[in-house]
Amino acid sequence: VAKAVALGDRGGIAPAQRELWARAGIAHLLAISGLHVAFVTGLVFALWRLLFAIWPGLVERLSARRLAAAVTVPAALVYCLAAGAPPSAVRATTMAVAFLVGVAVGRPSAGVNALGLAGLVILGVDPTSLYDPGFLLSFAAVSALLLAPRLPPVRGWRRVGRYLAGAALASVAATLATAPISASLFGSVSLIAPLANLAAVPLGAGIATPAAILHALVSPWAPALAAPLAALLELALALLDGLAGVAGTPAGAALNVPAPRGVEIAAYYVLVGSAVLLLRRRRVAVPLAVAALALLAALALRVVESRGDGQLTLIHPYVGQGEATVAILPRGAVMVFDAGGSERGRFDPGREVIAPLLRRQGVGRIALGVISHPHPDHVGGWRYLIEHFPVDELWWSGAEPDEPMQAQVLAAARRRGTRVRTTLELPPVLERDGVTIEVLHPRDREALAAPQLNDVSVVLRLRHGERSVLLTGDIGVAVEQALAARLQPTDAFKSPHHGSRSSSSPALLAALSPGMVVISVGEDNAYGLPDPEVLARYAAAGVQIWRTDHDGAVTMVSDGRRWRVHAFRRGRSVD
């Protein structure tokens, strides 16, 4: 955390800790921002000004303030480069340089002009920065701070109240300005942020960041001076982390919201801007009313959409070398079949992929979860999902109940009140929210005794109107051949075992007569999957192939009569 608040290097922070800071709305302290640049440039400027002021005879010929501003410019540039020059640092550095140059030549620049110059510089060097989260959040927050109403000056002890009110106003302004961006990029908006930042900003900007930077500067040559700075830094970071825990833990600390549409974002900013102008006694009744009505209409549309659009949507996200499928049923309920994962846990698709996907869709509850089998690349992501989303029902094969990852997920599910059932406890056919679910495997104790754990994978067939899809887990040839007699022709299927040679037998293809297959596989994976022999078999059978390593997230949508398929990475769509 000290490296993050000093240089924006967040690589050593655990994902759970970073998420907690984000829910509390104080994660901006972990990135290089105007606070960092202002401290470094202000410190260097003050030291140079002091040096020039005491230089014999210098102040009689030159302005110490102007000269200090000129020689501080290189320090600001060096710090920005040392921090890796993220968009927020470039923005702050450009504004600082504009201010310093203005002081040096006797023409101080306005904050709005400096911000505009910073935007032109960043976009001129790299136009794709317009899509960078750091760029968008940084410029939105600073714009809000520059345009927010100023409180009138006061005297005496009333200054303390004015400072607190000003800090609260700044925090609210930044939160309001960045809310649509956070909703669009992360599917979540911190509600506690304005309150949490009243304590976090003074701790972070006033103590932690200066202590971290000063410690880094003096520790190589003055260990005695570095020791108290380290103690102060440790105390400040402990308080910040405790604040994040208190503010970010409650369920209402952050609100999961669907990705806003363009018209919703426009109406939101018009509404907020009109409200600000109204406080300044401007006549804005018409735009205020129009924006409010547009947002109410958008909200009503969202409520209608939450009840389902009558279509079956299956999203096969890229989760590396793992397996996951998110199904949005015709009446709006959500089913998650596997959630990816990794054996060593270095990448958590549940946290990094599935949860953000659900939040962007406006999903706050999982109606049905399925664990195909207990291998880490299928069950690992469920550890996060089960703790962060209410899950009404969870199905699993019933095999290996003591396998650590699976046992952890099942225990957490039962603790949270989820109904947990094995496939042996389910009827062969169920109706769920406009979809028929056929539970094909495993259906008896003999199937659970298979020597290969892959062969106990849960196999489901989803049918919506005339269209259908088969979800297969990691079953092998033996199970495929056993199921062949019971399988019906199916439009699409998830390639068993990531396209391994041990599956996708001719018997399976003959039974399904599929039109397309989705292969969930990691890019340049160590297993060489999908196997070339399997790909050749698909091609010979005339099966259209979609791969998450090449296509990114693959989305299939059916109205019950046909499928529409879209690949995110290649922008490829097929009916």
pTM score, whole prediction: 0.81
Closest CA to 370 of 344, 403, 406: 406
d(CA 331, CA 339): 22
Q: Is the pLDDT of residue 541 over 90?
A: yes
Q: What is the pLDDT of residue 512?
A: 96
Task: Flag the least confident range among 293-307, 378-392, 495-509.
Answer: 293-307
Task: Flag the least confident range among 54-58, 195-199, 419-423.
Answer: 54-58
pLDDT digits (tens, 9 = 90+) for 349-377: 999 999 999 988 888 899 999 999 999 99
Q: Is the pLDDT of residue 55 over 80?
A: no
Q: Is the pLDDT of residue 392 over 90?
A: yes
* Average confidence score pLDDT of the chain: 89
Q: What is the pLDDT of residue 380?
A: 94
d(CA 52, CA 369): 69
Higher per-residue pLDDT: 232 or 305 = 232
Q: Judge if the upstream peptide bond of residue 530 is cis by omega within 30 degrees of 0.
A: yes
**Between the CA of residue 171 and those of 177, 340, 470, what are the distances in Å?**
10, 37, 50
Share of the chain above pLDDT 90, in %: 48
Higher per-residue pLDDT: 343 or 331 = 331
d(CA 261, CA 290): 17
The most confident of 112-126, 167-181, 385-399, by mean pLDDT: 385-399
Q: What is the pLDDT of residue 572?
A: 59
Q: What is the pLDDT of residue 315?
A: 97
Contact 428, 403 (CB under 8 A): no
Mean per-residue pLDDT, 300-323: 91
Task: Identify each DSSP E strand in 243-333 by its residue range.
Answer: 254-256, 312-316, 324-328
pLDDT digits (tens, 9 = 90+) for 258-284: 889 889 999 999 998 888 888 777 788
d(CA 385, CA 354): 8
Closest CA to 334 of 356, 306, 365, 374: 365
Q: What is the pLDDT of residue 573?
A: 61
Pairing state of beta strands 572-574 and 563-567?
Answer: antiparallel
